[in-house]
Amino acid sequence: MLTIKEYVRASSLEEAYELNQKRNNRIVGGMLWMKMQSGSIGTAIDLCDLGLDTIEETDEEFSIGAMVTLRQLELCESLNEYSCGAVKAAVKDIIGVQFRNLATVGGSIYGRFGFSDVLTVFLAMDTYVELYKGGIVSLEDFSKMKYDSDILVRIIVRKTRAKIIYNAMRIQRTDYPVITAALSKLGDEYRAVIGARPGRAVIIRDENGLLDGGVSSESADAFARFVASKAQTQSNMRGSAEYRTHLVKGLTERNVMEIGG
């Protein structure tokens, strides 16, 4: 069970940051993950009054506040148009609408959960996180960083020319994914992103230029084999390492064929 002594709606990021420096204080996003843990929290720091619940768009980027919910991501037409529907595809099976109306993008990305559909799809784009003290860091770097007491303020997605495909394998709709597999072509760069390995999602680039000559069933097969050899998998109750590697190969091949040249 989780106990909380005090609840504060921060009136500024500075106030939230200062409160968050105390070891047993915590930022609350949607609180869904936090609630699964037990322990005692001194002060729950709520960012809900800081205007971080909107998705703003300019010609260059999307700026997504940390308190934006997964449901807002799902319903945001411009973000889904840019991502070829990949964002919606990534979040649509996360429990249910009521859950996605609470779960935040800030909590999802800060958490860097191994199983995360959200981390996987944002890694497939040209994405950065804005940290209150740490400034702007690429999501790829952030995904490898240790947990600290900084505050994730927003997610920035630069509108690099992109084609993106998202697929995940679940034993049952609304369950955690057994594997997540996104593929994007950002400018001229192909990136496969594999998550729920069950470790954190990783980006695997086409460093041998297997797709340089265009997409064909042969090049898709070769790239999928390459990705499967690079993405380290492990076993857990949802599937064995071998099964996951098999899925990585199959889903990546499918993603390459779907994305086309």
Ligand X SMILES: Cc1cc2nc3c(=O)[nH]c(=O)nc-3n(C[C@H](O)[C@H](O)[C@H](O)COP(=O)(O)OP(=O)(O)OC[C@H]3O[C@@H](n4cnc5c(N)ncnc54)[C@H](O)[C@@H]3O)c2cc1C
Residues that bind ligand X (CB under 6 A): 26-34, 36, 47, 66, 94-95, 103-104, 106-108, 110-111, 113, 115-118, 151-152, 176-177
If one asks whether residue 215 binds another protein (CB under 8 A), the answer comes out as no
**Cβ closest to ligand X, residue 131 vs residue 210:** 131
**Cβ closest to another protein, residue 103 vs residue 231:** 103
**Cβ closest to ligand X, residue 66 vs residue 211:** 66
If one asks whether residue 7 binds another protein (CB under 8 A), the answer comes out as yes
If you search the block for the tokens 């996987």, which residue do you land on? Answer: 120
If one asks whether residue 171 binds another protein (CB under 8 A), the answer comes out as no
Name the residue whose CB lies closest to ligand X. Answer: 107
**Cβ closest to ligand X, residue 41 vs residue 183:** 41
* The residue type at 67: M
| Residue 50 CA from chain centroid, whole number | 22
Region of 41-49, 118-126, 127-135, 199-207 interacting with another protein (CB under 8 A): 41-49
Instruction: Assess contact for 166 and 121: CB atoms under 8 A.
Output: yes
Per-residue burial over 251-260, b if 16 or more Cβ lie within 10 Å, else e, is bbbbbbbebe
Find the binding residues for another protein in span 18-37 (CB under 8 A): 28, 30-32, 35-36
Can you name the residues that pair with 97 across neighbouring β-strands? Answer: none
How many Cβ atoms are within 10 Å of 167's Cβ, its own excluded?
Answer: 21
Select the binding partner of residue 107 from ligand X, another protein, none (C-beta < 5 to 8 A, by kind): ligand X
Tokens of 199: 């470790």
Select the binding partner of residue 98 from another protein, ligand X, none (C-beta < 5 to 8 A, by kind): another protein
**Cβ closest to another protein, residue 58 vs residue 172:** 172
**Cβ closest to ligand X, residue 62 vs residue 113:** 113
Closest CA to 108 of 41, 171, 195: 195
- C-alpha 120/C-alpha 192 separation (Å) is 10
CA 202-203-206 angle, to 5 degrees, is 145
Provide, rounded to whole angstroms, the least separation between the CB of residue 59 and ligand X. Answer: 26
**Cβ closest to another protein, residue 33 vs residue 243:** 33
**Backbone torsion region of residue 124, taken as left when φ is above 0, otherwise alpha when ψ lies between -120 and 50, otherwise beta:** alpha
If one asks whether residue 58 binds another protein (CB under 8 A), the answer comes out as no
**CA Rg value for the chain:** 19
Among positions 57, 93, 140, 221, the unique one binding another protein when judged by CB under 8 A: 93
- C-alpha 185/C-alpha 164 separation (Å) is 7
> What DSSP string runs through 111-124?
HT-TT-HHHHHHHT
Residues that bind another protein (CB under 8 A): 2-7, 28, 30-32, 35-36, 41, 44, 46, 48, 71, 92-93, 95-99, 101-102, 173-174
